[in-house]
Amino acid sequence: MEFPSPHEVETIPGTEGWKRMYPYYYQFTTDDPKRKQYEEQAFWFYDGLHYPEPIYPFDTIWDEAWYLGLSQFNNRLFHVPPSRGIDHRILNGRVYISAVPVTEPEEIGSRVPNFMERAGYYYQNWDTLEAKWKVKMEGIIRELAELPLSRLPDLEDLSVVTEGVGESKGYHLLKAYDDLIDLGIKCWQYHFEFLNIAMAANVVFIEFVQKLFPSIPLQRITQMVAGIDVILYRADDELKNLAKKAIELGVEQAVTSSREWTQVEAALKASPKGQEWLAALEAARYPWFYISNGTGWSHKDRCWNDDLNIPLTGIVTYIEKIRLGEKIDRPTEEVRVERDRITAEYRDLIETDDDRKAFDELLGTARLVFPYMENHNFYVEHWFHSVFWGKMREVAAIMKEHGLINEIDDIFLLRRDEIKQALWDLVTGWATGVTPRGTTVWPPEIAWRKGVMEKFYEWSAPPSIGIAPEVITDPFAIVLWGVTNSSISNWSEVQGNEDTDSITELKGFAGSPGAVEGRARVCLSTSEISLLENGEILVSRTTAPSWAPAFTKINACITDVGGVMSHAAINCREYGMPAVVGTGHGTKIIKTGMMLRVDGTTGVVTIVR
Amino acid sequence: MNNTAAVNDKMSRYLKMAAGAAASGTPVVCWFEECLKDSVPLVGGKCSSLGELINAGVRVPPGFALTTEGYRRFMADAGIDREIQSMVTGIDAQDLDALEKVSMAIREMIEAQPFSTEIEDLVAENYRRLSVRSCMPAVPVAVRSSATAEDLAGASFAGQQDTYLWVRGADDVLHHMRRCISSLYTGRAIAYRANHGYYDEQMAISVGVQKMANSFTAGVMFTIHPTNGDRSVIVIDSNYGFGESVVSGEVTPDNFVVNKVTLEILERTISQKDIYYTVDQKTQKPRAIEVPLERQKVQSLLDDEITELAWMGKQIEKHYGQPMDIEWAVDKDLPFGGNIFILQARPETVWSQKKQQTVAKPGASAMDHILAGILAGKRLK
C-alpha cells in the first residue's frame, strides 16, 4: 500500500519558511541522500493520538521528551530485542512517527540476555520500584510548583545586599527557565521508566490469548486486565461526590444557579453550608482537578483548576441526574464481577494445563503493570503538565511586560531555544537599560507564525506517509495508535475517496461492544461538550479524562485516533455503550446532525444518508 | 377426575401391562424423558441424547422411541431373520449393483411386515398422547432412526439412517418406523458390516418419534469454531424452514459467530438463500420451495434469537463437558422466549479427536513468554 512520499508532500502556499518553527532534525531531508532514502523507505504515521491539532513550536518539547524517553529505554536501557525506538518528523505542523526495528537476527539474539536481566528485574520488583517512582514523581511536581518566577525589579531588594546573595533576579529568571525545561524533560524520563515494559507485558498477554482463542475480540482481553480503581476516574468521581454533597447540604440550588463559576462561588459564600461545600471542593481539586481538557500535550489544554466552569458543568449535570432519580455511580461492582466472570470462563476453556499456567502467569503480569499504564498519565500529562503550562505563562507574563510578546500565549509560537535567547535579550536589556532587540523581532515573527498555524489547521493531514509494510509489528503502534494492517487499508480507502459526501461507511476498531443509532455531534474540543444533547453520538478526534461529563449524555462515541486501550474505548466499556475508535477520518466525514449507526462490536460506523 | 382422564388412566394401566408382558421386562416404547445418555442400548444414540437433554432442562420437542426391544420383537414376529441372513451371506461387498439389489429386496420385505397388534397399540397410544400434549390432532412428527452401535453413529455412517419429516397419523408413523428399521439394510450398511465382520444379529435399532417444530428458521450450531477450533465461540448456520436444507448443504446458510463467554455476536455473514424446506399445506408433505426474492438476502435469525440459541448451546456444552454439534429450530407458532428448540445434540468429533496442542512453551516462566512474544512480533489480520 502506498501513501504519499514524505518528500513529495507539498508546502501549503503561504507557509513557505515554516520549517524554522521547529528543530532542524525534525525536517524530512532531501539534501542528504542517505537520510532521504531511509525516510522514503520508512512508514510514517500521523500521531493524532497526542496531537489532534498542528503542533505549536514550543509544544514540541513534549514530543522531544518522548522521542528521547521511549527510544532510550527501549534501545539503551532494556535492550528490547527487536525494537529500537520511534523516530519523529514534523510535516506541515503535524508530527509523524515511525518505529525503528532491529533487523539483524544476530543482533536481536545478542540483546536477549540484557533484556531478560533488566526487564526481569523490573517485573520482579515492580511494586517496590513503582512506589519509588511515585515519590520521585511527586517530588518533581512539588519542585515545579515551587519554582520561583518573579518580575524583574527596577532595583534589587536590599536583602540581596544584606544577605550577600550576589545574584540578580535577571539571572534567576534565566535559571528558572532552564530549571523549568529541565524538570519537564526529567518528568518524561520517569514517564517511560516503566511504560515500555508495561506495554510489552500487556501486548504479549493479548497475543497469547489471541492464539488460544483466535476469534476473541481485543476488547475482551483488555477487559480481563483492566483495573477498576483507576486514578483517571478519580476526577469524575469527585464531581459525583460534590454533586451528592451539594444535595446533602441543601445547596444544590446555589450550585446550579449559574454556569459561571464566580457567580456560583459568590452565592455559596453567603451561607455556612455553602462554605462547607466550597471547602469540600477545595479538598477535591488538589490534585484531582489537575485534569486536562485535552491530552495535556498542548498548551491550549487547560485543566479544570484553570477553569472551574468545566467541573461546574459536570457537577450540575450530575445534580440533575440525581434529581431525576438516575444512578450516577460507576457500576464498579458489576464491572468487577463481569471481569472476573469472563476471565474465569475463558480460563476454563483453555484445554491444556501448560497453557492455563501460562495464561495465569501472563495475566498476572499484565494486571501487575496495568495500574501504571493508566496512572502515569495522570501524574505526567495531567498533573505535571497543567502545573507546567501555568509556569510557562508566568514566564510569558514577564516577556509580555517587557514587550517581547503581545499576548501571553504568543510564547508558545516560539521554540524553547528561541525563548531562552529572548530571555537573554530581555535580561541583558533590563540590566543595561536598553530596549531588547526582540521587541521588534518577535512580535512580527509571531504574527506570521500565527498565520502559518491557521493554514496548518486547514490542511488535511494524511494518516500515514511513506510505504506501508506487509505487517505492522510494533506493539506500541498497535496498542496506542491503533495502527494495524486493517486500519491502514481503511485509511487508504477513505483517503482515495475524494468525494467525502458519498461515504456511507467508516471502519475503525471495535472499542466497546453494542450497536445504537442516533444523531451525530462533532466536538473538536471540550468547549463544545456543553452542546451535547442526551442520546447523541459523540464524534471527536480523541477524548481525554476531562471529557468525562460527556459520557453521561451520549449513547455512543466515535474517535479518529486511538486503539482499544484509548480513553474513549475504556470509558465506553465502563459506561456500557458502543464505541468505534481509530476511524482515521470520522470528524472530517461526519457532520453534526447526521444519522449514524454505530456498531461497536464490529467497529463499523454507518452514515444513514 | 373427568371422564377422559379416567379412560386415559385405565388405558395406560392396560398398556403398561401389555408392555410389561414382554419376557425380558424391557419396554417396547418409552418417552424421551425416561431416557438418559446411558440408555443407548435401549433407545439408540439419538433418542438417549434427547432424553438426556430434556432431563438437563433443555427445551426439546417431546416424543417417544420404539425401543430396540420393540425392534427385536418386530423382527422376531416377522420371522424373516433367516431369509435376510441367507440373502446377505457371502455377498461381495465391492459389487455395488448386487448390494443395491439385495438392499432393495430386503427393505421391501421388512417394510411389508406388520407390527403386532400389541406394538401397534402401544405406538398409537403414545402418538395419541403426544398429540394431546401438543394440543393438536394428529401432531406432525419427525420419525428418525436411532442407532445403537457406536460405529454406526460414527462419521462413516452419518446420515445413513433415515429421517422422515412431517409424518401425521398413527398409521403413517408405524409405516415410517418400518422404513427406519429397514434402513439398517442400505447397500452401504450391508457392505460396511461385511467388511468389518459384524453380524446382523448384533445389530439393533431404535426409532424416535418427535413432535415437529413448525420451524420458521432452523439449522445447526457448533459450540467450537469448526475451522480453527476456537473454543470460545459458538458458530451457527441458519436458513428458513426445516433444518434439512442446512444439514444437507443444499443452501449456503447464514453464518453467525457468537462469543461463548459474553454471548455477543462477533461476526455475521448473510448469504443468499435460494430454497427452504417447509410443509406443503395441501399435501401435508415437506418440500423444498424457493425463498421469496425479498427474503433471500435477509438475516434469517433475529439477533435476540441468536443470543438465546448460543446461550442454550453453552448450557448443553456445559452439561456434556465437551464441544457439541447441535440441531435446532425456531418455532413460528410460539412467541419469542419459548420458541427455540433443540432437536439433536451430539459431541463434536473433528476437533475433539485432535491431539491438544499447547500454545505456550511448557514450563516456561512469565519472562520467557514475554520474551518469546516480543521476538515473535505481532501479525494482525
HEC states along A69-128? HHHHHHHHHCCCCCEEEEEEEEECCEEEEEEEECCCHHHHHHHHHHHHHHHHHHHHCHHH
Q: Residue B153's pLDDT is what?
A: 38
Condensed to tens digits (0 to 9), the pLDDT of residues A258-269 reads 989 999 999 999
Q: Which residues of A touch B324 (CB under 8 A)?
A: none
Amino acid identity at A287: P
Distance (Å) of CA B248 to CA B245, B297, B298: 5, 20, 21
Q: Which residues of A touch B373 (CB under 8 A)?
A: 200, 203-204, 207-208
Distance (Å) of CA B173 to CA A196, A588, B25, B35, B160: 71, 67, 24, 21, 20
Write the DSSP assignment of A132-173 as a string of letters: HHHHHHHHHHHHHHH----PPPSS--HHHHHTT----HHHHH
Q: Beta strand B163-167 with B141-147: parallel, antiparallel or unpaired?
A: antiparallel
Q: Beta strand B340-347 with B324-331: parallel, antiparallel or unpaired?
A: antiparallel
Which position has the grid cell 455475521? B268
Q: Which residues of A touch B358 (CB under 8 A)?
A: 352, 354-355
Backbone φ, ψ for residue A69 (5° rounding): -60, -55
Condensed to tens digits (0 to 9), the pLDDT of residues A422-438 reads 999 999 999 999 999 99
Optimal mutation site among A215, A220, A478, interface B, most CBs of chain B within 10 A: A215
Distance (Å) of CA B327 to CA A142, B56, B336: 67, 16, 18
- Least Cα separation, residue B77 to chain A (angstroms): 51
Q: Residue A480's pLDDT is what?
A: 62
Q: Are B213 and B61 in contact (CB under 8 A)?
A: yes
Q: Residue B379's pLDDT is what?
A: 47
Distance CA A309, CA A300 (A): 16
Amino acid identity at A467: I
Q: Three-class SS of residue A470?
A: coil
Write the DSSP assignment of A436-468 as a string of letters: -THHHHHHHHHHHHHHHHHHHHHS---SEEEB-
* CA B88, chain centre distance (Å): 28
Q: Three-class SS of residue B74?
A: helix
**With an 8 Å Cβ cutoff, are A215 and B225 in contact?**
yes
Interface of B with A (CB under 8 A): 225, 228, 230-233, 257, 259-262, 264-267, 356-367, 369-381
In a domain, A557, yes or no: yes
Q: Which of B250, B214, B218 is nearest to B236 (CA)?
A: B218
Q: What is the dihedral of CA B304, B308, B310, B315, to 10 degrees?
A: 170
A346 Cβ under 8 Å from any chain B Cβ: yes
CATH architecture observed for domain B3-211? 2-Layer Sandwich (3.30)
ipTM above 0.90, yes or no: no
pLDDT more than 70, % of chain A: 93
Q: Is the pLDDT of residue A295 over 60?
A: yes
In a domain, A178, yes or no: no
Range of the domain at A316: 234-286+300-326
Distance (Å) of CA A531 to CA A49, A313, A351, A524, A544: 23, 11, 51, 11, 17
- Number of structural domains in chain A: 2
Q: Which residues of B touch A200 (CB under 8 A)?
A: 370, 373-374
Q: Which of A186, A175, A287, A157 is nearest to A235 (CA)?
A: A287
The arithmetic mean of pLDDT across residues A496-513, rounded, is 76
Long-range contacts of B190-198 (CB under 8 A, 24+ apart): B190/B88, B190/B91, B190/B93, B190/B99, B190/B102, B190/B103, B191/B93, B191/B94, B191/B99, B192/B151, B192/B156, B192/B157, B194/B88, B194/B91, B194/B93, B195/B93, B196/B151, B198/B149, B198/B151
Amino acid identity at A16: E
- For chain B, what's the residue count? 381
Domains B3-211 and B215-347 share a fold: no
Report the chain A residue with the minimal C-alpha distance to residue B363.
Answer: A354
Backbone φ, ψ for residue A405 (5° rounding): -135, 160
**With an 8 Å Cβ cutoff, are B231 and A204 in contact?**
no
Question: Within 10 Å of residue A493's Cβ, how many Cβ atoms?
Answer: 16
Distance CA A360, CA A407 (A): 56
**With an 8 Å Cβ cutoff, are A486 and B381 in contact?**
yes
Those residues whose C-beta lies under 8 Å from the C-beta of residue A426, and which sit 6 or more positions away, are A152, A173, A398, A399, A402, A404, A436, A438
In a domain, A321, yes or no: yes
Condensed to tens digits (0 to 9), the pLDDT of residues B282-310 reads 888 888 899 999 999 999 999 999 999 99
Those residues whose C-beta lies under 8 Å from the C-beta of residue B214, and which sit 6 or more positions away, are B140, B279, B331, B332, B333
Distance CA A86, CA A71 (A): 6
The arithmetic mean of pLDDT across residues B193-200, rounded, is 71
Q: Three-class SS of residue A48?
A: coil
CATH code, domain carrying A576: 3.50.30.10
**Residue A528, CB half-sphere, CA atoms under 13 Å: how many?**
12
Confidence of residue B86 (pLDDT cuts 50, 70, 90): confident
Confidence of residue A55 (pLDDT cuts 50, 70, 90): very high
Write the DSSP assignment of A485-528 as a string of letters: HHHHHHHHHHHH---GGG--EEE-EEEE--EEEEEEEE-SSGGG
pTM of the predicted model, to two decimals? 0.79
**With an 8 Å Cβ cutoff, are A346 and B232 in contact?**
yes
Distance CA A429, CA A438 (A): 10
**With an 8 Å Cβ cutoff, are A471 and B375 in contact?**
no
Write the DSSP assignment of B101-128 as a string of letters: HHHHHHHHHHHTSPPPHHHHHHHHHHHH
A212 Cβ under 8 Å from any chain B Cβ: yes
* Grid coordinates belonging to A545: 479524562
Q: Are B269 and B255 in contact (CB under 8 A)?
A: yes
DSSP H or E stretch at residue B254: strand B254-259
Q: Which of B13, B15, B49, B11 is nearest to B32 (CA)?
A: B49
The arithmetic mean of pLDDT across residues A277-291, rounded, is 94
Condensed to tens digits (0 to 9), the pLDDT of residues B328-353 reads 999 988 888 789 999 989 888 777 77
Q: Are B32 and B44 in contact (CB under 8 A)?
A: no
In a domain, A384, yes or no: no
Give the closest of A123, A215, A471 to B232, CB-based. Answer: A215
Those residues whose C-beta lies under 8 Å from the C-beta of residue A248, and which sit 6 or more positions away, are none
In a domain, A455, yes or no: no
Condensed to tens digits (0 to 9), the pLDDT of residues A525-536 reads 777 888 888 889
User: Could you give the maximum distance between any two Cα atoms of chain A, in Å?
Assistant: 81
CATH 3.30.300.20 for domain B215-347:
no
Distance (Å) of CA A178 to CA A134, A186, A188, B373: 24, 12, 16, 42
Q: Is the pLDDT of residue A117 over 70?
A: yes
Q: Are B285 and B166 in contact (CB under 8 A)?
A: yes
In a domain, A239, yes or no: yes
Give the closest of A119, A208, A365 to B360, CB-based. Answer: A208
Q: Beta strand A556-559 with A579-581: parallel, antiparallel or unpaired?
A: parallel
DSSP H or E stretch at residue B255: strand B254-259
Give the closest of A115, A211, A346 to B359, CB-based. Answer: A211
Distance CA A543, CA A521 (A): 14
Q: Residue B154's pLDDT is what?
A: 39
**With an 8 Å Cβ cutoff, are A361 and B366 in contact?**
yes
Q: Are A605 and A584 in contact (CB under 8 A)?
A: no
Residue spans per domain, chain B: 3-211, 215-347
Question: Within 10 Å of residue B58's Cβ, how many Cβ atoms?
Answer: 18
Q: Is the pLDDT of residue B162 over 90?
A: no
Whole-number CA gyration radius for chain B:
23
In whole numbers, what is the pLDDT of chain A averaged over residues? Answer: 89
In whole numbers, what is the pLDDT of chain B averaged over residues? Answer: 85
Q: Which of A188, A196, A137 is nearest to A373 (CA)?
A: A196
The arithmetic mean of pLDDT across residues A408-416, rounded, is 98
pLDDT more than 90, % of chain A: 61
In a domain, A549, yes or no: yes
The residue ranking higher by pLDDT, A51 or A144, is: A144
* Grid coordinates belonging to A551: 459520557
CA dihedral sign, ordered B85, B87, B92, B97? negative
Write the DSSP assignment of B137-205 as a string of letters: TT--EEEEEEE-SHHHHSGGGTTTS-EEEEE-SHHHHHHHHHHHHHGGG-HHHHHHHHHHT--GGG--E
Q: Are A305 and A312 in contact (CB under 8 A)?
A: no
**With an 8 Å Cβ cutoff, are B359 and A200 in contact?**
no
Optimal mutation site among A354, A360, A604, interface B, most CBs of chain B within 10 A: A354
Q: What is the dihedral of CA A146, A149, A154, A159, to 10 degrees?
A: 20
Q: What is the dihedral of CA A136, A142, A144, A145, to 10 degrees?
A: 160
- Contacts A–B by Cβ distance under 8 A: 133
User: Could you give the maximum distance between any two Cα atoms of chain B, in Å?
Assistant: 80
CA dihedral sign, ordered B128, B134, B137, B143? negative
Condensed to tens digits (0 to 9), the pLDDT of residues A539-570 reads 988 787 777 778 888 999 998 877 766 778 87
Q: Residue B158's pLDDT is what?
A: 34
In a domain, A545, yes or no: yes
Those residues whose C-beta lies under 8 Å from the C-beta of residue A146, and which sit 6 or more positions away, are none
Condensed to tens digits (0 to 9), the pLDDT of residues B127-160 reads 999 999 988 899 999 999 888 765 443 333 433 5
A120 Cβ under 8 Å from any chain B Cβ: yes
Which position has the grid cell 512508514? A43
